[in-house]
């Protein structure tokens, strides 16, 4: 059985192709203006990687903020359920009980029970502080490519303290810090710490239990992971490809839906 | 010859160094005799000195004519020549009480923050809420939206009033609202309808903040954003209580600062004084009156 999951995030669209419970292909691309066109393109590249024709795909499930916009999928599921399912697929032997997921425009903390079923969650989609957007906008202010933020920040010996919460105010604060001659690595680590403070504060409200799983695009940022672990006071499990866990979950759910129908 | 003991000039200067603009007001015997406004610069001390110079020249006065300089606003500490520095909360409450002593709630919608003060007896603040962590609904929010829509900030109020059906805006966050506005424009929605939707969102937010005070009393709305007729209109529709906006709402902080000059006697809070300070019939004007006044 071949299924696909398409995760239409606010910033990136991710697609995963699953064949018999194995991930055989994936694709990632910036969302752009037309969710529908981008989702087709991303699924196309995932299929290309898997060496599978579109006609061979048995079922597609969409998820994420733009899940209802794509014409690809016949059903859709919330990104919270899809993310939890993706973690279940990774395996129960990892002992994951808390998921922290940073998206481009929102942040989710999901608490799992011992059977990896979701028992509680919190979501912030009201405020840009503590989301991927915070990192993205400030990277632009600093003129540092987003994927270099992590490595650059790891050189920091004396991180600055970002005192503002609102991204709009943080933009001016960061510009002033640059003007005052602070090192970029210190400013970036300060930014990572500010995001980590917000995320951990949110996670503590939901309840943090080991093992903490960290995913979403910003989890690819080593500086962000470092700041999170310091703020949490414990190690986290970061998957190899943190961006596509939710899309994987959606693909697995697609296979399950199909099995149920087949019965 | 001036008496040695009271060698101070008869004028007081109130300075409000806000996050976006700096307001200076010249007061004599409880009457506003002049005011000026400029965008806050990197060196507020220098800016205030220049604004004071201009104001004095305009009125044909000398530096010695100024008795006290009182500064407020988030940049108040940069005004090195000030005799006193007071918080915005104190200054806005003082100014608002002077203008309308019967007001129970004072809302200041500033460039970088929203403040809600509850007034007790004799103009003493009994409770207050500030939000300076979030830029939503502030002047900076409106600036961002005006820029995204390519409309001048001074025109957004009037433009929004031409809307027939406001376009609902979901996002509260300035950053997210900016993206939402851009996508609404891409969908072909009109600037007027989007602005009206933004103003409704801001009004909802402010009303919610005012309601946390659990007071049902009269509200005075001031600060630079209160010059936006669109937001004032939406507030009047939703606030569900008596509401007034002084004629120069952005000057209330500077006025309050000037009023805090440590003179032996407080300037009288009288109707005549109030009228002279902020124009006729403040508080008696309806929204339509103000609209007519502002639109010419």
Per DSSP, helices labelled H in B150-251 are 156-161, 174-186, 191-211, 229-238
For residue B42, give the chain A residue with the closest CA.
A176
For residue B172, give the chain A residue with the closest CA.
A126
Q: DSSP 3-state helix, strand, coil percentages of chain B (rounded to 5)?
A: 45, 20, 35
Structure tokens at B93: 């409450």
Instruction: Supply the ipTM of this predicted assembly.
Output: 0.88
Beta strand B125-131 with B84-85 is unpaired
Predicted TM-score (pTM) of the model is 0.86
User: So what's the pLDDT on residue B296?
Assistant: 37
Q: How far is CA A61 from the centre of its chain?
A: 18
User: So what's the pLDDT on residue B221?
Assistant: 97
Tell me whether B294 touches chain A (CB under 8 Å).
Answer: no
**Domain around A203:** 2-126+198-260
Per DSSP, helices labelled H in chain A are 35-50, 79-90, 132-142, 149-153, 167-179, 184-206, 222-232, 245-262
Tell me whether A137 touches chain B (CB under 8 Å).
Answer: yes
pLDDT in tens, A223-260: 999 999 999 999 999 999 999 999 999 999 999 999 99
Q: Which of A128, A164, A165 lies nearest to residue B176, judging by beta carbons?
A: A128
C-alpha to C-alpha distance for A11 and A26, rounded to whole angstroms: 17
pLDDT in tens, B42-65: 899 999 999 999 999 999 999 999
B135 contacts A166? CB cut-off 8 A: yes
Query: What's the domain count of chain A?
Result: 1
Residue A143 domain flag: no
Tell me whether A179 touches chain B (CB under 8 Å).
Answer: no
User: So what's the pLDDT on residue B160?
Assistant: 97
Number of A/B CB contacts below 8 angstroms equals: 34
Over chain A, what is the mean pLDDT? 95
Q: Which of A105, A164, A168 lies nearest to residue B174, judging by beta carbons?
A: A168
Q: Which of residues 107-166 of B touch A (CB under 8 A)?
A: 112, 133-136, 140-141, 144
Give me the percent of chain B exceeding a pLDDT of 70: 86
Residues A98 and A209: beta-carbon distance below 8 Å: yes
Tell me whether B292 touches chain A (CB under 8 Å).
Answer: no
Residue A176 domain flag: no
B140 contacts A168? CB cut-off 8 A: yes
Q: Which residues of chain B fall short of a pLDDT of 50?
A: 1-5, 268, 270-273, 275-276, 280-283, 294-296
Tell me whether A127 touches chain B (CB under 8 Å).
Answer: yes
Beta-bridge partner residues of B219: B105, B243
A61 phi and psi angles, rounded to 5 deg: -120, 135
Q: DSSP 3-state helix, strand, coil percentages of chain A (rounded to 5)?
A: 50, 20, 30
Question: Cis omega (within 30 of 0) on the bond before B49?
Answer: no
Based on its alpha-carbon atoms, the radius of gyration of chain B, rounded to whole angstroms, reads 19
Residue A172 domain flag: no
**Which residues from chain B sit within 8 angstroms of residue A35, using beta carbons?**
none
User: So what's the pLDDT on residue B272?
Assistant: 47
B134 contacts A127? CB cut-off 8 A: yes
Q: Which of A33, A137, A169 lies nearest to residue B135, judging by beta carbons?
A: A169
Tell me whether B185 touches chain A (CB under 8 Å).
Answer: no
Residue A156 domain flag: no
Closest CA to A189 of A221, A143, A237, A233: A221
Residue A135 domain flag: no
Other residues' Cβ atoms within 10 Å of the Cβ of residue A222:
15
Q: Under CATH, domain B11-87+250-295 is a member of which superfamily?
A: ATPase, nucleotide binding domain (3.30.420.40)
CATH of residue A206: 3.30.420.40
Q: Which residue has the tokens 């929203």?
A: B114
């Amino acid at each position: 059985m071949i299924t696909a999951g398409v995760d239409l995030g606010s910033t990136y669209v991710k697609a995963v192709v699953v064949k018999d419970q194995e991930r055989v292909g994936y694709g990632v691309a910036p969302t752009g203006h037309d969710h529908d066109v981008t989702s087709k393109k991303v699924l196309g590249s995932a299929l290309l990687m898997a060496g599978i024709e579109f006609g061979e795909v048995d079922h597609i499930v969409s998820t994420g903020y733009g899940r209802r916009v794509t014409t690809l999928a016949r059903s859709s599921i919330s990104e919270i359920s899809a993310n939890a399912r993706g973690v279940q697929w990774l395996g129960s032997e990892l002992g994951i009980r808390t998921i922290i997921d940073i998206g481009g425009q929102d942040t989710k903390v999901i608490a799992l029970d011992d059977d990896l079923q979701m028992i509680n969650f919190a979501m912030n989609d009201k405020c840009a502080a503590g989301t991927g957007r915070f990192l993205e906008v400030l990277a632009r202010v600093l003129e540092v490519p987003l994927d270099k933020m992590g490595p650059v920040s790891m050189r920091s010996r004396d991180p600055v303290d970002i005192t503002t919460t609102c991204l709009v105010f943080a933009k001016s604060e960061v510009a002033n810090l640059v003007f005052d001659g602070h090192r970029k690595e210190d400013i970036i680590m300060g930014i990572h710490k500010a995001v980590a403070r917000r995320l951990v504060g949110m996670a503590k409200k939901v309840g943090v239990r080991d093992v903490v799983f960290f995913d979403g695009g910003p989890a690819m940022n080593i500086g962000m992971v470092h700041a999170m672990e310091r703020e949490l006071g414990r190690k986290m499990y970061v998957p190899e490809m943190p961006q596509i866990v939710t899309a994987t979950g959606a693909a697995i759910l697609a296979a399950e839906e199909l099995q149920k129908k087949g019965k | 010859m001036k008496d040695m003991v009271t060698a101070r000039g008869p004028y007081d200067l109130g300075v409000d160094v806000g996050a976006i603009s700096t307001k200076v007001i010249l007061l004599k015997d409880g009457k506003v005799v002049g005011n000026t406004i400029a965008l806050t610069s990197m060196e507020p001390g220098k800016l205030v000195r220049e604004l004071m110079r201009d104001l004095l020249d305009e009125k044909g006065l000398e530096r010695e004519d100024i008795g006290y300089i009182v500064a407020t606003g988030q940049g108040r500490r940069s005004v090195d020549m000030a005799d006193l520095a007071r918080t915005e909360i104190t200054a806005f409450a003082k100014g608002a009480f002077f203008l309308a002593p019967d007001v129970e709630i004072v809302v200041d919608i500033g460039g970088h923050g929203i403040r809600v003060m509850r007034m007790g007896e004799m103009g003493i603040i009994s409770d207050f809420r500030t939000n300076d962590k979030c830029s939503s609904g502030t002047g900076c929010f409106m600036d961002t939206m005006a820029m995204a829509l390519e409309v001048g900030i001074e025109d957004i109020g009037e433009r929004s009033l031409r809307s027939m059906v406001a376009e609902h805006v979901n996002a509260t966050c300035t950053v997210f609202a900016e993206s939402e506005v851009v996508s609404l424009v891409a969908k072909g929605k009109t600037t007027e309808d989007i602005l009206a939707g933004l103003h409704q969102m801001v009004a909802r937010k402010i009303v919610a903040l005012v309601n946390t005070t659990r007071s049902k009393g009269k509200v005075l709305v001031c600060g630079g954003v209160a010059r936006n007729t669109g937001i004032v209109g939406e507030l009047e529709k939703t606030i569900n209580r008596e509401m007034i906006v002084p004629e120069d709402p952005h000057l209330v902080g500077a006025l309050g600062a000037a009023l805090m000059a440590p003179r032996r006697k407080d300037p009288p809070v009288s109707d005549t004084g109030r009228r002279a300070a902020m124009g006729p019939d403040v508080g008696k004007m309806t929204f339509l009156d103000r609209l007519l006044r502002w639109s010419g």
